[in-house]
Chains A and B, each alone.
Chain A
Amino acid sequence: MATATATIQGVNWIRLRKKVLSRTTCRGIVSLVGFVVLWEICVRLNVPIIGNVPAPSSVLDALGKQLVSPAYWLSWRDSMIRILTGFVAAQIVGIPIGLMLGVNRMARDTIYPIFEIMRPIPPLAWVPASVIFWPTPELSMIFVTFLGAFFTVVLNIVGGAKSIDIRYIRAAHSLGSTRRDIFWRIMLPATMPSIVVGMTVGMGVTWAVVVAAEMIASQSGLGYLTWRSYVAGEYPVIIIGMLSIGVAGYLSSAGIRVLAGRLTPWLKVR
C-alpha cells in the first residue's frame, strides 16, 4: 500500500507539469488567441452584427480603467456578498430540511407536496413579490438568491437520503448503533455526495439568479454594472461585466470543488 500512496503523490507532480505544458493546454491557448484576433479583425472590417460588438482592444482599454476603479470592485463585493449570504443560508436551512424529509416518512408526506408546487416557479418570478415582502431591496435579492439554491439543495438531499442502501443501516444496527449514531455516522455521510451535488448545481443557479435580480432590482453588483453600461452606452464595459460574471462563477465553482473534496474525501481517491 505504501507504493500506492507514493504513486498518488508522484502522479500528482508529474501530472501537474504535464498539464501545464500539455498539448491540450497549448491548443487551448492558441484557440483563445485566435478567437480574440478574429474578433478584433471582424470588428475592424465592420462585419455585420459582430461589427457592433466592441473590439477586444477597446475592451482591454476599458478594463485598464475598471481595474483601478473602486466602483468596479464594489460591484464584485456586492455580488459576492449576495451570493454567499443566499447560498450559505440555503445550505443552513436546506440541508436539515432535506435530511428530515429524506429520513422521516411522515415529514415527507406532509411537506413534500408544498415543495412540488413551489419548485417549478423560476426564482426570478419571485422578484416582484419579494421586493414587496422584504423591507429592503437588498434583502429581497438575497432571498431570491437563497431560493435559487434552496430547492436544488433540498431535492438533491431528499433523493440521496431516500436511496441509502439498507445494508449500511442494518450493518450499523448490528454493530450496536443508536439512532443518533445511525444519523451522524451513516445517514449524513451517505447523503454527503448528494449534498455536494446540490451545492455544485445550486452555486450555478445562484449566479444566474443574482445577475438577473441585480439588473431588475438593484443599484449595485456585477449584474447591475453590465446593465448600467448598456443604458449608459459604455459598450466595452458590458463585455467586462459579462466576463467578470464568468470569472466570478468559475471561482465560486472552484471553491465548491475544494469544499467537496474536503466533505467527501472517500470519493476523491480511486
Chain B
Amino acid sequence: MNASASGMSPRGSISIREVTKIYDPDGAKVLAVDNCSMEIEAGEFCVLVGPSGCGKTTLLNAIAGFHGITTGEIWLDGELLCSGARTPSPGADRIVVFQNGALFPWFTVLENVTFGPVVQGGMSKAEAHDRARTMLGQMGLMGIENNYPSEISSGMRRRVEIARAMMNDPRVLLLDEPFRAMDALTKTVVHQFLLDVYDKSRKTVFFITHDLEEAIFLGSKVYIMTTRPARIKKVLDVDIPRPRDFRALSSATYLRLKQECIEAVHEEALKAFKAGEREMA
C-alpha cells in the first residue's frame, strides 16, 4: 500500500531458475523438484496446482527461506534469495500462511497481528496496536481483537492470519493450501476476502492449492505442475477481469479455463497413479 504503491520500484518479482531439490541426498534421495523455472511478476497472483506430493510445498518453503535447494537459484527483486550454495533465511518480506494455520494459540488476535512489528522493533506497541485495529477494521474483522484464536471460527482465523501477514507489508504472500478442508460456504467468504486484500494491495501472491476452481477464480496465472519431481507442465493465463466476485464463476472464460485445467491435471493424476502402482509392484 505505502512503499509499494508509491512506485519506488516494483516489489515482489520472483525468479525461480532451474531449481532442483533433493531431500536426503546421502540416503533415500527423494527428488522433489526437478529443474523447475518460473518467472513471477511483481503483483502477480500466481497459483500452483499439481498432484499431491509433487513438490509444491518444497518450492514454497525454499522461497520462504525455511530450507535450501540443491541446485538452481531463487531471486526476489533482483536479490539472490537462495541457491545451491546459499542457504536462505526467512524474512518478513515473504510471509507464509500455512496449510493448517499458524496463529499462535497463546496470543490474542491483536497480539498475533502485531507480532511482526513488535518483534522487529520498528514500532511501539501502542502504535502497532493502533495500526492493527485500523487494519482489522478495514478488513471487516473488528470486535475479535481480544479473543484467542480458539474462540473464533476457522474462516475468521484464516483472515486474521492473512491480516497478520499484511501488517508486515511483505513483498510476497506465500499461501500453502490455506483454505483446505474448509466448507464451501466459508470458502466463498475467505476467497472474497483474499481477493479484496489483493485488489487493494497488489502484493505478489504465491498460492498453492489442489482446488482447480479456486485456482482459476483467484489467480492471474495458474501453473500446473507435473507429478513428482515437480516441473511446470502448463501455464494458464486467467483473463477474467478484476475485481472479481462470484459471478466470475459462471463466465464463459472461467468454464473454458476450468476444462483446460481439468484435462491437464487429469493427465498428471493418471501418471501419478500409474507410478504409484509401479512402486507397489
Give the number of A-B contacts (CB < 8 Å): 78
Whether the Cβ atoms of B102 and A168 lie closer than 8 Å is: yes
Binary per-residue interface labels of chain B (93-122) against chain A in the complex, 1 for a CB within 8 Å, 0 otherwise: 011101010101111000000011001100
Inter-chain CA distance A20–B115, complex, in Å, is 43
Whether the Cβ atoms of B98 and A192 lie closer than 8 Å is: no
Given A186-B104, A266-B150, residue A170 in contact with residue B96 (CB < 8 A): yes
Say whether A181 faces chain B, with CB atoms less than 8 Å apart: yes
For B170, give the chain A residue with the smallest CB separation: A174
Binary per-residue interface labels of chain B (34-69) against chain A in the complex, 1 for a CB within 8 Å, 0 otherwise: 000000000000000000000000000000111000
Contacts of A266 in B (CB 8 A): 105-107, 148-150
Contacts of A190 in B (CB 8 A): 106
Whether the Cβ atoms of B96 and A174 lie closer than 8 Å is: yes
B interface size (C-beta, 8 A):
31
Q: Measured between C-beta atoms, what is the minimum distance from A106 to chain B in Å?
A: 21
Q: Measured between C-beta atoms, what is the minimum distance from B89 to chain A in Å?
A: 8
Contacts of B143 in A (CB 8 A): 1-2
Given A174-B64, A174-B91, A266-B106, residue A185 in contact with residue B100 (CB < 8 A): no
Binary per-residue interface labels of chain A (226-270) against chain B in the complex, 1 for a CB within 8 Å, 0 otherwise: 000000000000000000000000000000000000001110011
Whether the Cβ atoms of A170 and B64 lie closer than 8 Å is: yes
Q: Which of B131-167 contact A (CB under 8 A)?
A: 143-144, 147-152, 164
Whether the Cβ atoms of B151 and A269 lie closer than 8 Å is: yes
Inter-chain CA distance A40–B261, complex, in Å, is 82
**Interface residues, chain B, with chain A CB atoms under 8 Å away:** 64-66, 89-92, 94-96, 98, 100, 102, 104-107, 115-116, 119-120, 143-144, 147-152, 164, 168
Whether the Cβ atoms of B100 and A269 lie closer than 8 Å is: no
Whether the Cβ atoms of B106 and A192 lie closer than 8 Å is: yes
Name A's interface SS. Answer: helix
Partner of B119, one of A1, A168, A170, A178: A178
Given A170-B90, A175-B116, A176-B119, residue A1 in contact with residue B98 (CB < 8 A): no
Whether the Cβ atoms of B92 and A175 lie closer than 8 Å is: yes
Whether the Cβ atoms of B144 and A1 lie closer than 8 Å is: yes
Q: Measured between C-beta atoms, what is the minimum distance from B122 to chain A in Å?
A: 9
Say whether A45 faces chain B, with CB atoms less than 8 Å apart: no
Contacts of A181 in B (CB 8 A): 119
